[in-house]
Amino acid sequence: MGLRERKKAATREALVRAAVQLVLARGVEGVTVEAIADEAGVSPRTFHNYFPGKEEAIVAPLVDGVRELIDAVRARPADEPVWESLRHAVVELLQSVGHLEETLPLLHVIKDEPALLAWHMRGFAELQEELCAAVAERTGTDAKRDLYPRLMAGAVGLAIRVVLDLWTEGKTDTDITELFEDAFARLRAGLPTP
């Protein structure tokens, strides 16, 4: 990236970090666009160059994580089986994320706030379409016409949601990476009865 792109990325990251810190400290109602912009050291107008509203900035870390996952899938070896590529991409993403302890309370806030949950699900649906396209590229199928890439993207999306739900609700003491490994192994095996 050139200097301009690096500055834009740094500004966006500052806005996202400010949004997350403020929502965790004040709750959704206590956060405004102006407060996020002020915390990040920019104007509200600059904020709107990056996000239409506070909700998008708050859920951005999760949406960005899914984008990183898609990029990681595309970077895997072309001859690797799709399930293996997806599994490796998820594990690599989890190992590179240094702020899982911040992600847990953010997920709780999102689940408790309908407006945030709606934005989160909307972003997730858009990114699931991108994952469908990535699977289609790897398998030589058509993302618009063929069932396989859509089923694969849907299954992966569901696995991600189920694992995150179990993890955030504290219904398991299993490590999140192990949960993902287990979910992908079960899906790959055709979901045999335990």
C-alpha dist (Å) from residue 21 to 14, 26, 57: 10, 9, 11
Q: Tell me the C-alpha distance between 34 and 72, whole Å.
A: 34
Q: Each residue of 143-181: pLDDT tens digit? A: 999 999 999 999 988 888 888 888 878 778 888 888 888
Nearest to residue 93, comparing CAs of 174, 40, 164?
Answer: 164
Q: Which domains does the chain have, with CATH numbers?
A: 1-51 (1.10.10.60), 54-188 (1.10.357.10)
Q: Tell me the C-alpha distance between 19 and 31, whole Å.
A: 8
User: How sure is the predictor about 17, in pLDDT bands with cuts at 50, 70 and 90?
Assistant: very high
Helices (H), 76-171: 82-96, 100-112, 114-139, 147-168
Q: Tell me the C-alpha distance between 112 and 83, whole Å.
A: 32
* Number of other residues whose CB lies within 10 A of the CB of residue 16: 22
Nearest to residue 42, comparing CAs of 64, 2, 10?
Answer: 10
Q: Each residue of 45-101: pLDDT tens digit? A: 999 999 999 999 998 888 887 788 888 888 999 889 888 888 888 888 777 655 566
Q: Look up residue 56 and give its amino acid.
A: E
Is residue 104 predicted with pLDDT exceeding 70? yes
Query: Could you tell me how many helices (H) and strands (E) the chain has, helices first?
Result: 9, 0
Q: Tell me the C-alpha distance between 98 and 27, whole Å.
A: 23
Nearest to residue 12, comparing CAs of 45, 39, 51, 65?
Answer: 51
At 110 the pLDDT is 85
Longest dimension (CA), the chain: 55
* Burial class, 22, CB count within 10 angstroms (exposed 0-12 / middle 13-18 / buried 19+): buried
At 128 the pLDDT is 84
